[in-house]
Structure 1
Amino acid sequence: MEEDRAYRGAAGVFVHLPVTSEEDRQIFAGNILTVVRAARPARVVFSTSGFPINPAVGGAAATLAAGLAGSGVSHAVIARELYLENLLMPYVIDSVRERGVLPYAIRADFPLSWASHLDIADVAVALFERTDVTGAVSVGQYPAITGSDLAEAFGAKLGRDVVFESITPEEMRTSIAPLIGDGAAADIAEAYQVMSTMQGRSIAPENSAQKLLGVTPRTTSQWLADMGV
């Protein structure tokens, strides 16, 4: 088939579903699986973008992860919680710089294993080299950190006091909709509403990149330095 030419004969394929509506993400996932099964590249590495890969929960990421597991193609799934780069969105970083306030739609004491796009890239490279590692690999800071910890790191980097401010998922939706569109913003707000009922989102150390690959994600301070914030 014409569509599988990009994957056919490839030593490795990296897959990252875009931030868009869930309906479109399901279409992308189905198309990717069709091409993988037809072209059978040597290795596929899929980053979940923080979406759940539990079949009981459902969703495009879970569909794609399950399909890769049943494809017979060598694969690994990069499972992360939240991207540190989310904190560079204008409504966040502008508030930090102008008001000394870091607003985000989590509780101040909510523990999270944050990771950077840079960490995902490091792990993806390692997974293409380490084809013996299969299945889900968790990527993120461990132990998990809180919103107050994030604010402290920003304050140390900027040389000023920074405090964390918990905002609602709806407030987040209205802030990001101009950047990514109403549909995607609504889906993200819904995900944060679900997350607000949890006790935290920490990676499991037993299947972490630290343990399986020897790759340690950046601290928030290291990430801020790498990004030139």
Structure 2
Amino acid sequence: MTYVIHGATGAQGAPVAAALAAAGKPVTALTRNASAVVPGARVVPTDYSSPEQLIAAYRGAQGVFVHLPMAAEEDRRRYAANVVAAVQETRPGRVVVSTSGDDSGLQDPSGNALGALVAGLEESGASYAVVAPRLYMENLLLPPVFATTQESGVLRYPLGPGFPVGWSSHLDVADVVTALFEQTGITGTVSVGQDPAVTGPQLAEAFAGRLGRPVTYEAMEPAAFGELITPLFGEQAATGVAGFYAFLGTLPDLPVDADRSAQKLLGVSPRTPAQWLAALDL
């Protein structure tokens, strides 16, 4: 029996694979790169677009960690259908899905890949849970963001200074995923992030403490942020990210759901921004 981790060489999957391996669990790392090396794991080249590969990977699995990749929504819906079909065929012991920070699709299973994935898992009868982080603190380390913070002492991000967010780290999500693999009685959505939520100036204060110099916070327009990250992610993905932040600008805040938080349901608390930064080699 193994734990199957999608995207095990990426930002979301790698911490989950590492946490399970550190706990002595057998790990199967799924990646499109056949030559990838994942410490403590067996690497299996697998693509979401191949139902046959997914079925082979899931067969006999104790747990499966899924997060849909950034792609055109049509492709993501196809990937979601393939995952559900593979789960129905192989019946893994537990499936944990990450929303990757955007859970808006959970309310629209007909037109959204994430919603279709979760609805399909529900219909399959599989034991599953959904991990719902808000925004990742690792976004603040994207080269065009962190360079300005480090060089000019200005943390620039496409959120208003008074907009509080339940920020979390990829490491926090990995902690919650591993706990959900163990605590199979917890189902449904589990919210991951800071409670109370944290504002931009509070993030800047944490960076100031870590860098040992003053850091201020400055909001930027979502469209400008999209242009900034286009060289990293490509135009299509960057446009989607900019649109997401423009949508957030219509909201008053982005908190965790306290009643469904990892703190309440699992006893797992996220790292504070200062704790997260203290562990980084900046």
TM-score when scaled to structure 1? 0.96
> Which residue matches 1:174?
227
Deviates further, 13-22 or 41-50: 13-22
SS in 2 for 1:227: coil
CA contact (8 A) 1:42 1:74 kept: yes
> Which residue matches 1:40?
91
CA contact (8 A) 1:76 1:134 kept: yes
CA contact (8 A) 2:99 2:131 kept: yes
> Which residue matches 1:29?
80
Deviation at 1:135, TM superposition (A): 0.7
Q: Determine if the alignment matches structure 1 residue 50 to structure 2 residue 101.
A: yes
- RMSD over aligned Cα atoms: 1.4
Gaps of 5+ in 2: 1-50
Gaps of 5+ in 1: none
Q: How many residues align?
A: 229
> Which residue matches 1:104?
157
Determine the C-alpha separation between the residues in 1 that align with 2:166 and 2:70: 20
> Which residue matches 1:222?
275
Aligned pairs for 1:64-213 within 5 A: 64-213=117-266
Question: Percent of pairs identical after alignment?
Answer: 50
- Aligned counterpart for 1:13 among listed residues 27, 51, 64: 64
Name the structure, 1 or 2, with higher relative contact order (CA <8 Å, separation 6+). Answer: 1
1:127 partner letter: L
Determine the C-alpha separation between the residues in 2 that align with 1:96 and 1:82: 18
CA contact (8 A) 1:22 1:187 kept: no
Determine the C-alpha separation between the residues in 2 that align with 1:85 and 1:19: 17
After superposition, give the CA deviation of every residue in 1:36-89 in whole Å (9 maximum; x if it has no partner): 111111110111101124324852222212221221000010001100000010
Deviates further, 203-212 or 23-32: 23-32
After superposition, give the CA deviation of every residue in 1:20-49 in whole Å (9 maximum; x if it has no partner): 332322222121112111111111011110
1:71 partner letter: S
CA contact (8 A) 2:108 2:116 kept: no
Instruction: Report runs of 4+ in structure 1 exceeding 4 Å deviation.
Output: none
SS in 2 for 1:115: coil
TM-score when scaled to structure 2? 0.78
